[in-house]
Amino acid sequence: MLQSLSSIETNNNGKRAITNIVLMETQQEALTQSYADASTSGARVFLCHIYEQGGRNHLVFSLPCNLLLELGKLQSAETKKNKSNAEEKINRPLMIPHVNEIAKYLINTENYVLPPFIFNCSTPVKVFAYGTGAVKFGYAVISNDVELYVTDGQHRLKAIEKAIKERPLLKNDSVTVLIIEEDDIDQIHQDFADCAKTKPIPPALLAAFDVSNILSKLTRQVSKELVVFDRRIDKISRTVGKDPNYMFTMSQLRIGVAEFLFGSSRKQVIESRSNQEDCDWNGLLNDTKVFYRLFSENNQTWQQLLQPASQTVNLDLYSLRQERVDFSSVGFQVINRVGHHIFFGKDFTESEISNLVKALASLDYRRDAQLWENNLVIDDGKGGKKIIAQMAAINKGFEVAVREVQNLTNISLGCLKE
């Protein structure tokens, strides 16, 4: 028994809502009818889910990657050719660096994850469905004249195409595809724009969740295992603002750890170094812990952090951020970069390392200390000191700190140009 669930109708704004779903009484009837229909046209049958959202029917498929590449079509604007008529194309211009970035992720990540793709179809897809709930099951008959254009996921599609050449086993993996039947180009563009409205993951939360490389793993471990940082790192917000309970955000801690491990927090250096798989994970974690412990034990202000956060309820970290440079992100980077050259620059003895870190911890980190004037801080014009959040300032502050440490210990770090 056939029952037309919906057909080509006109919606409230006068545009056509393309639907062609035939509701059957049982699964067997839907299966039999779909293959009977496909056999007369050379079409293929795909199992799918059907639901309604925003007044339109949505079809959800699981497709193997090789079939995804076969069915998915792109209609991307070109940077040079479509500057004045980009709205006539379904997608924004294809950004090759973004494609390469995703392809690299797919090649190097064992347990990767890809969000669902969204396809648009302006040609009605016949679906033989069954069920009585809000979500129905069915068999979609995809004929050769059905064109499926990518609304969201063009960079992922091209990345899969590229990655499969180096990792052929990806062909055996599958992805989720959502097909929205829509023939109005304005609505297709709106669908794409709506997909882009999802709020990005804040850097701090991304640093807390992303453990796909050595830097992220180390930062996560340090934030949990060192009493100095435990419960004092904001793992959600973009900034710590005026909160008196937190030292840094997770992303700021990650940048500091990058300075310690790699001697730099530049994106290119982090990306090239943090994906190394043959590194001594336990050794790096131990060195990082030793550095922060030694520094804290020998810095009068940081010594307060050697007690658990629950026992230092009267410690106002916001006030410390206003008074000192070592509780700012730029000052923290300077300290960590000097630490890198102490631990990894030369083959120092344990005694030399201890003396160098003690000297680094003994520096005057007050904002109004002359040591940081015109490198890390400048006058704010109101009688106060303003921290300069620029890489050039960090580089200058680093040179100042190194010279001070060398003068205090008579040990050369060998990292300054004479």
Q: Does some domain include residue 414?
A: no
Q: Does some domain include residue 101?
A: yes
pLDDT 10s digits, 287-316: 999 999 999 999 999 999 999 999 988 899
Q: Does some domain include residue 48?
A: yes
Q: Does some domain include residue 293?
A: yes
Q: Does some domain include residue 416?
A: no
Residues 241 and 370 in one domain: yes
Residues 42 and 82 in one domain: yes
Nearest alpha-carbon partner for 228 in 322, 297, 145: 297
- Phi and psi at 183, nearest 5°, equal -110, 0
CA separation for the pair 207, 390 (Å, rounded): 21
pTM value is 0.64
Residues 61 and 153 in one domain: yes
Residues 112 and 254 in one domain: no
Residues 106 and 225 in one domain: no
**Between helices 214-225 and 250-262, what is the axis angle to 10°?**
120
Question: What is the extent of the structural domain holding 280?
Answer: 203-409
The token pair that represents 353 in the structure block: 């390392």
CA separation for the pair 363, 346 (Å, rounded): 22
- The vertex-82 CA angle with 78 and 84, nearest 5°, equals 155
Three-state DSSP at 59 gives: strand
What's the total number of domains in the chain? Answer: 2
Residues 224 and 318 in one domain: yes
Residues 298 and 264 in one domain: yes
Residues 219 and 156 in one domain: no
What's the pLDDT at 284? 92
Name the residue with tokens 């190194």.
Answer: 402
Residues 104 and 126 in one domain: yes
The amino acid occupying position 248 is F
pLDDT 10s digits, 110-167: 889 999 998 887 777 899 999 988 999 999 998 877 778 888 888 899 999 999 999 9
Domain final position from 151, 170, 195: 195
According to DSSP, residue 343 is labeled I
pLDDT 10s digits, 215-243: 888 898 999 999 999 999 998 888 899 99
Q: Does some domain include residue 176?
A: yes
Q: How many residues does the chain have?
A: 418
CA separation for the pair 283, 264 (Å, rounded): 19
Distances (CA, A) of 381 to 89, 305, 384, 385: 52, 33, 7, 8
Domain final position from 157, 179, 195: 195
Residues 396 and 366 in one domain: yes
Residues 133 and 207 in one domain: no
Domain final position from 151, 168, 195: 195
Q: Does some domain include residue 335?
A: yes
Residues 39 and 150 in one domain: yes
Q: Does some domain include residue 140?
A: yes
